[in-house]
Amino acid sequence: MTDFYLWFSSGFEHIVSIDGYDHIMFVALLVFTFSIKNWSKLLVLITAFTVGHSVSLVLSAYEKINLNQNVVEILIGFSIVVTAAYHLLNFRKPMYNNAAFLYFIVLFFGLIHGLGFSYFLKSMLGHSSNVLFPLLYFNLGIEVAQLFVVIIVLIFSLFLGFAFKIPYQLFKFISICAICISSIIFTITRFIDYL
């Protein structure tokens, strides 16, 4: 097994495994931000998240930033709750009116999520001084997994619309509510564990 495959698959599996459900929820919320017609704005939003978590992943891997893992997990849950609440409060409003604000917030939340990714990466690295390529391959695996989640959410929503005539707005609303409730439970559970 090559180093590339090991680190790439670890990054990919970290997102798509059951343990990555918090990141899947956040990426799904990003997908719901803009309609398919505004795919370029969605791409910029996903890129903002990528830039944010890549920066904090690098800083953490090189020991330039270090936060308590339990605090980071609580902040990740909080970022999902806030994003879901924002969607619910602005459900009938076009999101593109606040695009610059959204990009900044998603970039900031990406920084938090990157710290969550870093604990997994650092546990695999151990005391290795060779960080650059594992970090690059791991992050690439995360990016491909995120794109996979985006595509699955889009295809699933299209499938529901065509096969069962479920309106996209209904699917979006139910999904956001489910994510909001799940992330509240996730955040409270992590907070209780921290105490």
Tell me the pLDDT tens digit for each residue of 132-143: 899 899 999 999
Residue 171 in any domain: the answer is: yes
Residue 169 in any domain: the answer is: yes
Residue 26 in any domain: the answer is: no
Q: Which of 153, 120, 131 is nearest to 39 (CA)?
A: 153
- For the cut 90, the answer to whether the pLDDT of residue 121 exceeds it is no
Residue 183 in any domain: the answer is: yes
Confidence of residue 40 (pLDDT cuts 50, 70, 90): confident
Residue 142 in any domain: the answer is: yes
Intra-chain end-to-end CA distance of the chain, in Å: 41
Residue 14 in any domain: the answer is: no
Distance of CA 57 to the CA centre of its chain: 13
Domain count, the chain: 1
Residue 80 in any domain: the answer is: yes
48-94 per-position pLDDT tens digit: 999 999 999 889 888 899 899 999 999 999 999 999 999 999 888 77
Q: Is the pTM of this model over 0.85?
A: yes
Q: Which of 165, 160, 180, 172 is nearest to 34 (CA)?
A: 172
Residue 28 in any domain: the answer is: no
Q: Which residues contact 50 (CB under 8 A, 6 or more apart)?
A: 110, 143, 146
Domain boundaries, position 149: 3-7+35-194
Q: How far apart are CA 43 and CA 18, in angstroms?
A: 25
Q: Which H helix or E strand runs over 148? A: helix 132-164
Q: Can you tell me which residue has the tokens 């650059």?
A: 132
